[in-house]
Each structure stands twice: as C-alpha cells, then as structure tokens.
Amino acid sequence: MKPKHQRLFLICSALMGLGIAGSLVLVAFQDTLVFFYTPSDLLQKNISPQQRIRVGGLVDMDSPQQRGENVHFKITDQKETIMVSYHGILPDLFREGQGVVAEGYLMNPTHFQAESVLAKHDENYMPREVAEGLREQCK
C-alpha cells in the first residue's frame, strides 16, 4: 500500500471513529443528561414524572422519618420544601440541616421519589449547586 493511500485510509478511519464517538455522545446526551433543580424551581417548572432530575437543598430539620426500609425526608431551600422518599440506607453523612442532593423522579409537584441520595464525604461540605441555589433564593 502506498503511503498516500495509507494516510487516506487512516484519516478516513479516524474520522469514522470520531463520527461514531460523536453520535454516541449525542445520543447519550439526549437521554442521560440530568438537570438540577431547587424545590422552588420544581413548583415553577412543569417537569414530567418520567424525567430523571436532581433536587438539591438542605435537609429540613426534624423531617427525616425511617419507616422500615423506606425513608422520608424534606428538602428545603428556605422558601419551598419538597417531600422525598427513598428506599434503602441513607449515606452516612446525611444529616438534618445539611446540604443534600437527591436524584430520581418527581412523582407529583409535592413528592419526589429518590433513587440515589448524595451527601458529600466531608463534614463541612455544601454541594456547589445547593450553595448557588440557596444564594439565588436569598436575593
């Protein structure tokens, strides 16, 4: 094979690879991108129960209730609160009054079914989205 053809072949296959990677990325972006909302956003925006989203804020004081394998708690941004249910064991750093991010589905405007709950591994931590969301709410 002449070097010229070889180069052509290489460039073609590289472009093809890039194209495939690009389309994979685009397709994945369409379905797997998860948007972040604060409890106030949830009231304003119409979010379908099929869309996977993240909700962040502070865990409302005295709200966590463990009922067997299910946990219910409220996430607040100091203006609005939303009820969150979760099946399983909460992460160790989940605490009242601390920042938390829940990922899952909004069943109806007041009830959120979480599939995962993220609390950070640092006692002083506040997720950046939560901090910014709270800052905007306080304005």
The contact set with another protein (CB under 8 A) reads 1, 3, 5-6, 9-10, 12-14, 16-18, 20-21, 23-25, 27-36, 49-52, 54, 66, 68-70, 87-89, 91-93, 103-105, 107, 113, 115, 118, 120-123, 127-129, 132
**CA trace torsion 51, 32, 44, 73 (10° rounding):** 70
Q: Which helix (H) or strand (E) holds 123?
A: none
Nearest residue (CB) to another protein, 105 versus 137: 105
Nearest residue (CB) to another protein, 78 versus 98: 98
Residue-wise over 8-38: b if at least 16 C-beta within 10 A, else e? Answer: eeeeeeeeeeeeeeeeeeeeeeeeeeeebbb
Q: Where are the beta strands (DSSP E) in 88-134?
A: 99-108, 111-118
Shortest approach of another protein to residue 33 CB, angstroms?
A: 5
Shortest approach of another protein to residue 47 CB, angstroms?
A: 11
Shortest approach of another protein to residue 89 CB, angstroms?
A: 4
Whether 117 and 91 have beta carbons less than 8 Å apart is answered as yes
Nearest residue (CB) to another protein, 10 versus 61: 10
